[in-house]
Amino acid sequence: MDNSNFRVGYWLLVPAIIIAAGILGYYTFRSAIEHKELGEETIAQSLLSVAQQGVDEVERYIRSADNTVFRLVDPNDSSTIDTVWLPEAERQTPSVRSVLLVDREGNILQWASTEDRKARRTFLRVFRQELLSSLELDSTEPHLLRHLHQEADGKSYLLSYKAYSTLAGELTYIVAYHDVQYLIAEVFPMMFASEESTPRYNIVDESNNVVFGPDLSQVGVYTVGHRFPKTLYGWRLQVAPRQAELLQARGRSRMRGAAALPLMSFAIILLSAIFFLYAAEKERRLSQLKSELMANVSHELKTPLSVVRMFADMLRSARVPSEERRLEYLDIICRESERLTSLIDNVLDFSALESGQGTYRLKKGDVAEAIGRALEAFRYRSEQEGVEIHLEAPETLPPVMIDQEAIALAVINLLDNAVKYGGQTRVDLEVSTRRSVVDISVRDHGPGIPADSLRLVFDRFYRGPDTGPTRGSGIGLSLVRHIAQAHGGRAWARNAAGGGAVVGFWIPVAPT
């Protein structure tokens, strides 16, 4: 995948992921809303049935008291209010406080009350001044049971009334006054007992002021109300599940989950796509680096081979003018052969490392010996480049567990790196001991390593941004790190205080 195709794929894939996640989120969220609404509707239907039953029970109680009054009072005999109803009032109609006989013109023919004198006078005044005019005494259907529920003088009044034909052919109305406060204090608590297994009830007036029961305004959508149709028609009964707060919390949690699910899905899909793109880009970059490695190695092999072949042909054709020149040609062939050997060793070791077959034969040995072999192998290269290598090492070094060939290869790679990028400056090879490790470092006096490249110089195929025309394979320092780690040590790199780069590694001292 070339770079342009990769970018096109990236810009096509990301919008596709966003669109897919958006569609998934839309349908998931819509499904969650429908599920929530269905649940709320089911709960509402159940609560509405409960509210209707409660309203019916209250109205049955009031109508039962009304029917008892109408049964006890004879419209043809006004004395029955005092002689028949009043003695039975507390026992049979406890909510009824007063009973009146009223003609069609609104004249009170007879009345009696179970209240004290002050309450009787107050009721009679309010009835004449405010309630009487609201009664439908001239209705075309006078024989129906009717009710009046009205606020008067700061108090709620409930009147039940029904017309009867007297023997004289006149219509007389029996009016029963129900004590609303008695209903609130005695009847409603009995009907809407507060138990853990029952819903919560309250009754509110037309202004939503609570008349009976707890405040359910915080319950929200889980509150269902049903108005009293005939008796207390100015009020309504409200019902809410006892676990309304929990239901609301679960509803909010479901909505949050429905909102979070597409976001999480989008994040997962996007991260997967990013990982895929990253892996594809890394693979593309690795392939590119391998191609560059092959080109660099081919060039590195071609140059010394051409030199070796040229001077070998000259020696074979006896076209050498003097013995001194013949020896010079032989030295050139030897140097280029050493260069070829070093390059081939690097490639072979790197190939073994890549395939997981790189093994080292560790045995107790002397680091100085491995370093000496590396200097001898690198001597031709340093002389050819005109670079002086200065060795600084103590007379004796503690024994270490090493593979002589591997350590020598690591030192050669450090020297090669310093010669390539040091600008033909002096190279210092230092061997030192500290605590329980032996440290080997190579310093050049060139421009140093850019700060952002210090942590990358040991990566395979990595070559710094300022390498210029200097060619290389990018695997030398990677082998140094692997060799150091195989010996239980670590490779490191830094810039020297006085200029130049210092690259090296340490390995632990062999246990005694």
Query: So what's the pLDDT on residue 41?
Result: 66
**Residue 212 counted as domain residue:** no
**Residue 92 counted as domain residue:** yes
Among 164, 185, 206, identify where a domain stops: 185
**Residue 388 counted as domain residue:** yes
Identify the top-confidence range among 9-13, 128-132, 205-209, 456-460: 128-132
CB 205 within 8 A of CB 173: no
CB 242 within 8 A of CB 196: yes
**Residue 191 counted as domain residue:** no
List strands edge to edge, sheet with 108-113.
108-113, 96-103, 171-178, 155-165, 146-152
End-to-end CA distance of the chain: 55
Identify the top-confidence range among 86-95, 317-326, 395-404, 493-502: 86-95
The share of the chain scoring above pLDDT 90, in percent, equals 32
Say yes or no to pLDDT of 197 above 70: no
Q: Who has greater pLDDT, 375 or 355?
A: 375
CB 487 within 8 A of CB 507: yes
pLDDT mean over 389-400: 89
Query: So what's the pLDDT on residue 110?
Result: 93
Say yes or no to pLDDT of 221 above 80: no
CATH of the domain at 110: 3.40.1840.10
CATH of the domain at 380: 3.30.565.10
Among 185, 214, 231, identify where a domain stops: 185
Among 185, 205, 235, identify where a domain stops: 185
Q: How far does Cα 350 stand from its chain's mean position?
A: 44
pLDDT mean over 309-317: 79
Say yes or no to pLDDT of 298 above 70: no
**Residue 180 counted as domain residue:** yes
| pLDDT-derived band at 151, boundaries 50, 70, 90 | very high
Q: Is 112 helix (H, G, I), strand (E, B) or coil?
A: strand
| pLDDT-derived band at 299, boundaries 50, 70, 90 | low
CA distance 442 to 493: 10
Counted domains in the chain: 2
**CB contact burial 171-184 (16+ within 10 A = b; e otherwise):** bbbbbbbbbbeebe
What's the alpha-carbon Rg for the chain, to the nearest Å? 53
Say yes or no to pLDDT of 255 above 80: no
**Residue 224 counted as domain residue:** no
Burial class (CB in 10 A: 0-12, 13-18, 19+), 244: buried
Range of the domain at 177: 73-185
pLDDT mean over 383-401: 87
Summarised one tens digit per residue, pLDDT across range 77-136 is 999 999 999 999 999 999 999 999 999 899 999 999 999 999 999 999 999 999 999 998
CA distance 218 to 251: 15
**Residue 79 counted as domain residue:** yes
For residue 503, the cross-strand partners are 442, 493
For the chain, what is the mean pLDDT?
81
Name the token pair of 108: 């009170």
Query: So what's the pLDDT on residue 1?
Result: 47
Taking alpha carbons only, the member of 186, 197, 200, 193 closest to residue 237 is 200
CA distance 192 to 299: 98
CA distance 336 to 340: 6
**CB contact burial 275-310 (16+ within 10 A = b; e otherwise):** eeeeeeeeeeeeeebeeebeebbeebeeebeebbee
**Residue 196 counted as domain residue:** no
**CB contact burial 245-262 (16+ within 10 A = b; e otherwise):** eebeeebeeeeeebeeeb
Q: Who has greater pLDDT, 266 or 86?
A: 86
Name the token pair of 301: 């092999």
